[in-house]
Structure 1
Amino acid sequence: MSFGPPLLLASLNPAAVAAGDDIPNAVTIDGTTLSRSDLLGAATSVAERVARAKRVAVLAEPTMSTVLAVVGCLIAGVTVVPVPPDAGKVEREHILTDSGAQAWLGAAPEGTGLPAIPVRQHARSWHRYPEPPSGTTAFILYTSGTTGLPKGVMLSRGAIAAGLDALADAWAWTRKDVLVHGLPLFHVHGLILGVLGPLRFGSPVIHTGKPTPRAYAEANGTMYFGVPTVWSRIVEEPTYATALSSARLLVSGSAPLPVPVFEKLVELTGQAPVERYGMSETMITLSTRADGERRPGWVGTPVAGVETRLRDENDEPVPHDGESIGGLQVRGPMLFDGYLNRPDATDMTADGWFRTGDVAVIDPAGFHRIVGRESVDLIKSGGYRVGAGEIETVLLGHPAVAEVAVVGLPDDDLGQRITAFVVAREESPDLAQALIDHVAKQLSVHKRPREVRLVAELPRNAMGKVQKKLLG
């Protein structure tokens, strides 16, 4: 039987499994390990149960049931709507209503009005499905909703394949790797990169449940994915950190990695971490390379197939001089197909570039540094354009700072006054001035906060994102 286009999950080719070419430890999660043949058989059994559906919701807990639900839908060509396990009732109902999900696949939260289709880990089917067209929507991923209700990002199978292949090129990712991570399975980082990547390239994946330093150290992987919080905790445990010295690649993303954490990883593991940039709408578009320079605070160059540019408020080009800040625009084959039910919200230029909403600088060599969100992180103070993100990165490098958010507050003289809201590990009478001086020494003097406010906590939404518009 012809399978048409190349398989999205190339390592799960039924012909290879039938020929006996197995991967004994294809996926390990929640204390369970499945071989490639068992994974294919169980996921195909799921596919048979959902093949007539259009969209189903998956409560994206870190379990084998979640993996089988997602893979089964991809085999059958059914769109997956991952739902965060900790989503509040209002957010969850919005996701279900907006997406038009017809049922839960696997576990379902209490009180839901949708039917639930069970996922049976020990069931097997060897029915063969033709590969769905590359334009088929594989996922509807919901954004964090920092500016209103979450929007559904439509990602096609072709976009996912292009995005993963670009990372295989940048990171030299092959079936010889063993990927380790403990990231959530309801967004691009943990689910698409962290599960579909291994299933495309044939590299085993170990999901640690919680991304603890000990769990990472004991996994014996060659590639590790983590967010800055994970790496910060790892460098605080030198014994576990040094155990990662044998790994081939340490990858950090989803937020800026503080420079001191970068430097401590180099000291303890002997290698600099790879930093990358992306978003639900674009997958990963920028990354440092396995065979290239890794510069703290910078997220590298465009991956294969991606183009970038910077524009100012008048849509004029911003020079790539490593200092000038502009709105980041991207285009490439891994971009999304728009927001579900919200074509008006898809911010594309007339000539096909996606406005990311982030502000960045690009140096003459093409290296990118992300300085924050355009709406809240681009501060215009005293005639200067300053990125809040780079100030936050420097402040997080101070031992007294646990969390920080930098904003521009109205100021009659400066236009906007750079203000840092800091959750301190330890307070002292002169801490505010010490933090101001710390930034002035690390960055240009005009980028220092004019005011530091010590707070008990930062306002966050249900997804944990800081809501800067509530600060002031």
Structure 2
Amino acid sequence: MAPAPVVPVLTALQGGADGRDREDAVTVDGRSCGYEELLGAAGAVARRAAGTKAFAVEASASLETVAAAVGALLAGVPLVPVPPDAGPAERDHILHDSGAELLPVDFRERADFSGEPAGRAALILYTSGTTGPPKGVVIGRDAVAACLDGLAAAWAWTAEDTLVHGLPLFHVHGLVLGVLGALRTGSRLVHTGRPAPAAYAAAGGSLYFGVPTVWHRVARDEPSARALSGARLLVSGSAALPAPVFHDLAALTGHEPVERYGMTESLITVSARASGPRRPGAVGTPLPGVTTRIAESADGIGELQLQGPTLFDGYLGRPDATAAAYTPDGWFRTGDIASVDEDGTHRIVGRASTDLIKSGGYRIGAGEVENALLAHPAVREAAVVGAPHPDLGQEIVAYVVADGVGERELTDFVAAHLSAHKRPRKVRFLSALPRNAMGKPQKRLLPPV
């Protein structure tokens, strides 16, 4: 059987965006370049990387990281982005597990590179390692292309846009969507270095990406939030956007944010549309070619499972883990608990391991309780878990960051907004929730009940 053709990813970059190259086509942390300059720097990377099994780069917010990502695609060699703040053990694990050589990138170097891509793998991204050492997720260029084309259609994302974000370049959100997406659609890219509200406001973009922590900070900075009123679309992802932040952004910017759902292993599979309704907590409908189902559903809630063109090629060197990620009939197990409204809109309740609470015979989504807590004006952050209970099976425990409010007031507040059985049995007050680099609360790091 003939090998499958190599799928191009950088269609706009390599086509020069229809000849409309500009000196500031790509800006990262105040440094700008045009497509021709970027291709020259990427060509130098590709020459050094050609023939290697994989190569790694310290994925800082820089033009060097962008050149490394482009160079890897030109050479047909998978890129392994290493978080710049990775500790020695994490860094050593990533390099040893992937077999990648850590290559320095000098953006001043230039080379033409005419080699034909040899491999279909585009990236090897490492999971957060919440259940053991991080696993390498092998992502094919065909999956990247399918994801980006689906999002371009869903968000009406074109070369006329200016994309603004300040997200890390070692995750799907910042690197695949936030860099490769711009180089596929031809939109101008402004990476702000850090996702500060003032930097977002000053960028003058039409399309903005952020995680909930970023949008929460924007909503608290009224002048910066109002400056985004001239944008076309605000997109939130990587974690659930609290309903109060959704409403604050809508009030201050005039834009209801678009929410979407994805994982490292699946890229983005479900999204609200630029032209469709947007509701707090709703992540929309599947992208073209993606099929979803709710498994073992009870009360309309169950594990979300997927099939489609955006799925990963497997865990690097872990065939058993790859096989375990799929059901016997070929559906990818996300491990996320979801529900689907009558109109097909998906809602993510949370992770099966931490966010589906079984208390007194009820199945309760932690995200619903968290949103109820966040609706209280004194609560800034909230995380809800289920803790073992001799009578209920599990009891609902809330960890909150709040000022001037007590436990009884919060439990009564939730009971008044939701069913009484969904109120927290215990409330623990913290100065801040533990979060990862993408702003996701890390529930496994919460103190014992």
Sort the TM-score into its range (normalised by shorter chain): over 0.9
Quote how far apart the aligned CAs of 1:404 are: 2.4
For the pair 1:7 / 2:5, whether they are aligned, the reply is no
Structure 2: how far apart are the matches of 1:13 and 1:292? 32
Deviates more, 1:363-372 or 1:120-129: 120-129
Verify the 8 A CA contact 1:286 1:299 in the aligned structure 2: yes
Q: Which residue of 1 aligns with 2:315?
A: 339
SS of the equivalent of 1:209 reads: coil
Which residue among 229, 238, 260 is the counterpart of 2:244? 260
Q: Show the counterpart of 2:300.
A: 324
Q: CA deviation at 1:37?
A: 1.0
1:396 Cα deviation from its structure 2 partner: 2.6
CA distance in 1, matches of 2:189, 2:374: 31
Secondary structure, in 3 states, of the residue corresponding to 2:84?
coil
State the shift of 1:434 in Å: 1.5
Alignment of 1:192-341 (within 5 A): 192-312=176-296, 318=297, 324-341=300-317
1:406 paired to 2:384: yes
- The farther-off stretch of 200-209 and 399-408 is 399-408
- AA aligned to 1:105 is L
CA RMSD in angstroms comes to: 1.9
Unaligned segments of structure 1, at least 5 residues: 107-118, 313-317
Residue 457 (structure 1) shift:
4.6
Structure 2: how far apart are the matches of 1:337 and 1:298?
Answer: 28
Cα offset, 1:52, TM superposition:
2.1
Counterpart code for 1:92: R
Deviation at 1:445, TM superposition (A): 2.0
Larger deviation, residues 462-471 vs 402-411: 462-471
2:110 aligned to 121, 124, 148, which one? 124
Q: Distance in 2 between matches of 1:324 and 1:448?
A: 20
1:468 matched to 2:411? The reply is no
What is the CA distance between 1:350 and its match in structure 2? Answer: 1.8
Which one-letter code corresponds to 1:142 in the other structure? Y
Out of 387-396 and 142-151, give the one that drifted further: 387-396
- Structure 1 residue 448 corresponds to structure 2 residue 423: yes
Which residue pairs with 2:409 in the alignment? 434
Identity %: 59
Q: CA deviation at 1:126?
A: 2.6
Q: CA deviation at 1:93?
A: 1.1
Aligned residue for 1:190, secondary structure, equals helix
* Pairing 1:371-382 to 2, within 5 Å after superposition: 371-382=349-360
Shift of 1:12: 2.1
Between 1:178-187 and 1:84-93, the stretch displaced more is: 84-93
Aligned residue for 1:33? 32
439-448 or 353-362, which moves further after superposition?
A: 439-448
Contact persistence 2:246–2:280 (CA under 8 A): yes
Q: Take 1:199 and 1:34, find their aligned partners in 2: how far apart are those partners?
A: 13
- Distance verdict in 2 for CA 1:259–1:413, change over 3 Å: same
8 A Cα contact 2:370 2:382, kept in partner: yes
Q: TM-score, normalised by structure 1?
A: 0.89
Q: Is the 8 A contact 1:252 1:275 kept in 2?
A: yes
- CA shift, 1:458, in A, is 4.3
CA positional deviation for 1:467: 3.5
> What secondary structure sits across from 2:335 in the alignment?
strand
SS in 1 for 2:364: strand
Residue 122 (structure 1) shift: 2.3
Per the normalisation by structure 2, the TM-score is 0.94
Which residue in 2 is equivalent to 1:43? 42
- Structure 2 residue ranges without an equivalent (≥5): none
Figure out how many residues of one structure are paired with residues of the other and give that number: 441
SS of structure 2 residue aligned to 1:126:
coil
